[in-house]
Amino acid sequence: MTLPGPEIEVADSVAAEVEVSDGNKTVAGRSPTQLALARFKADRLSMIALVFSAVVIIAAIAAPFLVKFGVLDPNGQNQDLLADDGIAPAGAFGGISWDHPLGVTPAVGRDLLSRLMLALTWSLGIAVSATIITVLIGVVLGIVSGFSGGFIDATVGRFIDLTLSFPQTMMLLALAGPTVLLIRDDISSVPGLGFLGERDLANGFYVIVILAVFGWPPVARVVRGQVLSIRQREFIEAAKLLGASRRRLYFKEVLPNVWAPVLVYTTLLLPAYISAEAAFNFLGVGIKPPTPTIGNILQESKDYTSADPMYFFLPGFLLVVIVVMFNLVGDGARDALDPKSNR
């Protein structure tokens, strides 16, 4: 809409854009996506968290390549950097130096910065993979359950209740041994994955499966509630009258209208899985040393809290910061997509 004259007032700068051209001012409306992005960008804390999260993700992706080209050395031993007792690193703050900015590990003398960067790769890889599988299962079953109703809805609902009734941690510890052995036999026959190590792949895949199997019910419940509120709307009825198939109704008509809560839940699920992966590794289930993850570094560092407090503090602090920053991104996404909600 073009309004002549030199003056125009726009009540909400987020809801409209003003463009000046040849003395006229044009008020251009914004789409819901543009409004959400504008609200997210206006939240400085969420933007800072997003930048930090992006840096962490880039570091996790780059770490294996840096190891391959010799920039990082997570498994190299530097016994000469240890104190006379052969346990604690020589020097202050865990042996921090120009060559080892975060110091070295006790007893072995591995570079802690290299190990933490490679640990990000494994920890984030497991968390992201489990999040994707969890969201896919939860979204599909939630849409099918909420849209179909009747017997299918009741069956999925009871399956959700059954899944939630199992203690996740107890199942993880009880099934770890035999399940990992079976997975290792299957993975050994997959071409192109040998460079990652059969043991590490089997243990990582097991954690991913456990997280996904016990993590999808809340996603399905959220999606089902959204689908129940939109399945009787006019555009759904119109699609049915036009002969749309079930697949089109699910993924072309319903899914685009539930993506906002799914996106928010995904951003909040990822940090939860990062901390869960660290907890599982701390309990001894997951990737085993010398391959580093945040969890097994913490598990190893607890034996050296007196000799080298920095070895315990740095990975713990990194884990806390990562989880907090990803949660802030999720909170910002929720507030941007639902401006009526209060943080």
Can you give the pTM of this predicted structure?
A: 0.80
Q: Radius of gyration of the chain from Cα atoms?
A: 25
Query: In this predicted structure, what is the pLDDT of residue 57?
Result: 92
- Exposed / middle / buried, residue 29 (Cβ in 10 Å: 0-12, 13-18, 19+): exposed
Quick one: tokens of 60? 């996790």
Whole-angstrom Cα distance, residue 315 to residue 238? 55
Q: pLDDT band for position 61 (50/70/90)?
A: very high
Query: In this predicted structure, what is the pLDDT of residue 52?
Result: 92
Whether the pLDDT of residue 76 is over 90: the answer is: no
Peptide bond into 32 cis (omega under 30): no
Whether the pLDDT of residue 229 is over 70: the answer is: yes
Question: For residue 222, how far is the Cα from the chain centroid?
Answer: 18
Q: Report the mean per-residue pLDDT for the chain.
A: 78
Whether the pLDDT of residue 288 is over 50: the answer is: yes
Whether the pLDDT of residue 265 is over 70: the answer is: yes
Whether the pLDDT of residue 53 is over 50: the answer is: yes
pLDDT digits (tens, 9 = 90+) for 155-169: 888 888 888 887 777
pLDDT digits (tens, 9 = 90+) for 172-211: 777 666 565 566 555 555 544 444 556 667 778 888 888 8
How crowded is residue 340: how many other Cβ atoms within 10 Å of its Cβ?
5
Query: In this predicted structure, what is the pLDDT of residue 12?
Result: 43
For the ranges 94-103, 273-282, 311-320, 331-340, the lowest mean pLDDT is seen at 331-340
Mean pLDDT of 46-60: 91
Mean pLDDT of 281-290: 80
User: Which span out of 49-58, 176-185, 223-232, 286-295 was modeled with the highest average pLDDT?
Assistant: 49-58
Angle at 304 between CA 301 and CA 310, to 5 degrees: 70
Q: Which amino acid is at 187?
A: I
- Domains delineated in the chain: 2-42 (no CATH), 48-337 (1.10.3720.10)
Whole-angstrom Cα distance, residue 174 to residue 115? 29
Whole-angstrom Cα distance, residue 264 to residue 291? 32
Query: In this predicted structure, what is the pLDDT of residue 14?
Result: 45
Whether the pLDDT of residue 25 is over 70: the answer is: no
Whether the pLDDT of residue 19 is over 70: the answer is: no
Whole-angstrom Cα distance, residue 278 to residue 297? 9
E strand or H helix that includes residue 2: strand 2-3
Judging by DSSP bridges, how do beta strands 16-21 and 24-29 pair with one another? antiparallel
Query: In this predicted structure, what is the pLDDT of residue 23?
Result: 55
